Amino acid sequence: MPRHDLFFRPAQQAALSVKFIFMTMYMHLVFLDEVQQQQQISVMRSYLKLYTTMPMEKMATFQEMSETDFRNALLCFKHKMRNITWTKGTSGLQGDFQSDSEVDFFIDRNMIHIADTKVAQRYGDFFIRQIHKLEEVNRTLSKVKV
């Protein structure tokens, strides 16, 4: 018999095992709920990438949800996509909240306004590559003797 079992009477052990079963079932339900939310997020992200503005009612019908449930799902999407990004300091919890999603949106009345946040990064990468090419051309031209 394990050492920690010596401290409990059989009735207490039975109560602990029932609590363990309920806690395991609860953790299983929480995990399944998280999986369902992640599935909704991927479908929702794909719809949001297609549009720049869209009525809430129309998007809710695409998702086969009521408007209230869809609004809650959008809030869940925003919540799941915001993470603390470490900037400086000793703690990994210090930092700024940033969105990990390529798509950002806000709701004005019953209209969803959608912005693709990845576009700015593409422009930035393009300009950086062009600057590097220009520097390379300048170096090459400076080596040419006239």
**Is pLDDT at 79 greater than 80 in this prediction?**
yes
In sequence order, what are the residues at sequence separation of 6 or more whose Cβ sits closer than 8 angstroms to the Cβ of residue 30? none
Q: Per-residue pLDDT tens for 32-76? A: 999 988 888 888 888 888 999 999 999 999 889 999 999 999 988
Q: What is the pLDDT of residue 104?
A: 85
The count of C-alpha atoms lying within 13 angstroms of the C-alpha of 120, restricted to the half-sphere facing its C-beta, is 6
Residue ranges per domain, the chain?
3-117
Q: Per-residue pLDDT tens for 22-37? A: 999 999 999 999 998 8
Answer for the pair 43, 106: CB distance below 8 angstroms, yes or no.
no
Q: Per-residue pLDDT tens for 90-135? A: 666 677 777 667 788 889 999 999 987 765 556 778 889 999 999 9
Query: For residues 16 and 20, what is the distance between their CA atoms, to the nearest angstrom?
Result: 6
Query: For residues 41 and 126, what is the distance between their CA atoms, to the nearest angstrom?
Result: 30
